[in-house]
Amino acid sequence: MSRKDSRGMFANVLGQLEQPSAAPTTKPTTSPHLLKVAAGVRQIQEKGEVLDRLLKDADHVVDVDPKDVAPSSIPDRFDGAYDDAAIAEIAASIRERGQIVPGLIRPHKNGGPPYQIVFGRRRLAAVKSLGLKFRAIIRELSDEEAIIFQGEENANRNDLSFIEKCAFALAQEQVGYRRDVICASLATGKSHVSEMLRIAAVLPRDVLLAIGPSPEIGRRRWIDFADAFATRQDGAARINQALGQGNAVAGKDRFSVALNALKTAQAPASEQPAAAEIRANGFLLATVSYAKSGSKISFTKAVPTSFVDFLSDRMEALHSEFVQSTQRSSKG
């Protein structure tokens, strides 16, 4: 199946949902809150009906035991997205009205459970917590088709945060998916995917998990974050220190705390002295002082001007010797 076919499936669904509904026979409520709730429930119901009609010829909806469904080979969400607390709202909705919108699964041919989830992982986790069957559409899909469906379903619902999409793209690249497949799974272009891969490659996964999905943080701020992280060797340690050790940092503030930790001025290394003395035969010749503006050598009055001139004349040769020595060390 091509990207066009998979995208068309969702485009057709959304197109049908946008058709005007029949005029109500009763006077509608004027409460904005009730109108919003009613519209949300109606959309969920219509989605389930359209999916059933759309796929009834080529696919079929079944009720399967959640234990018979293997997880996706590539996660698209950060750890914790399927914890009981994270799916409590979905579970409450399913408990009240049942699972209206089916998930998508495919036959699993690599051993283990007979099926593998393509999308609907949170619905799967919710019905599992409730001890119910999982309502799903079965479709034969290749690995590439499955990853495209997995990404596009989230893209159509605007469900993943920007940094989760970056991590999802990197995970695909690391297992060998082609760049065009990654682009199709995220419904975006190659230049955008390249940028997302660069961001995810710079930031260790444990750092991203410590910060969390940060749904309110967009592309520009993550670029700023990745650039700041790349300039510091102690970036991961500073972030873990800022977010850890019992610090109660709310989810929406964790990104800002981590970024501030990266941009805080780096303290001088403890082993780097503020000043050092240069001695010869027990006599003090000069003092070397270290500062942010640069290091400085101050000769004592006992040092003759002729020696300072001698050292100045040899400075270029000494610097060249230092550079060559550094290059040999790096190659060794």
Burial (CB count <10 Å: 0-12, 13-18, 19+), residue 292: exposed
Cα separation, 50 vs 12, in Å, equals: 9
CATH code of domain 155-261: 1.10.10
- Give me 195's structure tokens: 């940028």
Cα separation, 49 vs 209, in Å, equals: 37
**What per-residue confidence (pLDDT) applies to 73?**
76
Shortest CA distance to 163 belongs to which of 223, 237, 231, 122? 223
Cα separation, 289 vs 294, in Å, equals: 9
Cα separation, 317 vs 121, in Å, equals: 66
Rounded to an integer, what is the distance from CA 168 to the centroid of its chain? Answer: 7
Shortest CA distance to 142 belongs to which of 116, 168, 111? 116
Q: Kindly report, residue by residue over 134-161, the tens digit of the pLDDT.
A: 999 888 888 888 888 877 666 555 567 8
What residue type is 163 in one-letter code? I
Average pLDDT, the chain: 75
What class is the 59-141 domain?
A: alpha beta
Cα separation, 127 vs 124, in Å, equals: 5
Do the beta carbons of residue 63 and residue 139 sit within 8 Å? no
All residue ranges of the chain with pLDDT < 70 are: 1-59, 76, 78-86, 152-159, 245-248, 250-252, 265-273, 282, 292, 327-332
| Whether the domain at 59-141 and the domain at 155-261 fall into the same CATH topology | no
Task: Count Cα atoms within 13 angstroms, Cβ side, for 180.
Answer: 4
Cα separation, 285 vs 101, in Å, equals: 82
**What per-residue confidence (pLDDT) applies to 327?**
63
Q: Output the pTM of the full model.
A: 0.51
Q: Structural domain boundaries of the chain?
A: 1-19+32-57, 59-141, 155-261
Could you say which DSSP state residue 251 is in? G
Q: How far apart are the first and last CA of the chain?
A: 52
